[in-house]
Amino acid sequence: MSKVLRIHFICMGNTFRSRLAEAYLRSKKIPNVDVSSSGVRAHENKNGPVCWYTVRLIKRHHLIPHLTHTWTKTTPTHLKNADIVIFMDKKHHEHSKNDLGFTGSRYEIWNIPDLDNFGVHDTGETLDEELATMRISEKVYKLIIQKVNRLITSLGSL
């Protein structure tokens, strides 16, 4: 029996980027790959179980069956148990090193921007704001897909 490779994605709140990466990779149904995700500040529960624009993307891209039901806060156990940790941003890596004792050698920092990096806030007070949020979230999702596809390709060389 082959060893299971555990891949763990980390972002801020585990309601958008890391959850999309997890769902997309899980949808590929790669044998012996276990996928999970968490957020370093998920416990603040700013967006509920998932952001509204995440729901839109998972429905549009048929990822609902592959999405976890709620957010998960990053813990030292997540970091220790993962074979590969993927941080959506350098600040999540820094937090994991400084506050959670992460010393793992097998990790990547993808520099996938969050919506606030674009000056977009998910308040959705006007239709124009919601449209801007949808456009930016689509761009971010495309970046996630590109990175996950590259990761999948690299797994073939393991």
Cα of first residue to Cα of last residue in the chain, in angstroms, is 16
Query: How many domains does the chain fold into?
Result: 1
User: In whole angstroms, what is the distance from residue 54 CA to residue 60 CA?
Assistant: 10
Residue 92 belongs to some domain of the structure: yes
Residue 96 belongs to some domain of the structure: yes
Residue 153 belongs to some domain of the structure: no
- Diameter of the chain by CA atoms? 54
Residues in the chain: 158
Residue 32 belongs to some domain of the structure: yes
Which domain CATH number covers 20?
3.40.50.2300
What pLDDT is recorded for position 38? Answer: 97
Structural domain harbouring 107: 5-147
Q: Which residue is it, tokens 């998920």? A: 42
Residue 158 belongs to some domain of the structure: no
Angle at 134 between CA 67 and CA 65, to 5 degrees: 15
Residue 106 belongs to some domain of the structure: yes
What pLDDT is recorded for position 19? Answer: 96
Residue 105 belongs to some domain of the structure: yes
158 residues of the chain, pLDDT tens digit each:
478 999 999 999 999 999 999 999 999 999 999 999 999 999 988 878 888 889 999 999 999 999 999 999 999 999 999 999 999 999 999 999 999 999 988 999 999 998 877 776 656 678 888 888 899 999 999 999 999 999 999 988 65
CA dihedral 59, 52, 137, 42 (to 10 degrees): -110
Residue 156 belongs to some domain of the structure: no
Extract the tokens encoding 95. Answer: 């937090």
Sign (positive or negative) of CA dihedral 101, 105, 106, 109: positive
| pTM metric for this prediction | 0.93
Contact (Cβ atoms closer than 8 angstroms) between residue 25 and residue 151: yes
Helix, strand, or coil here: 87?
strand
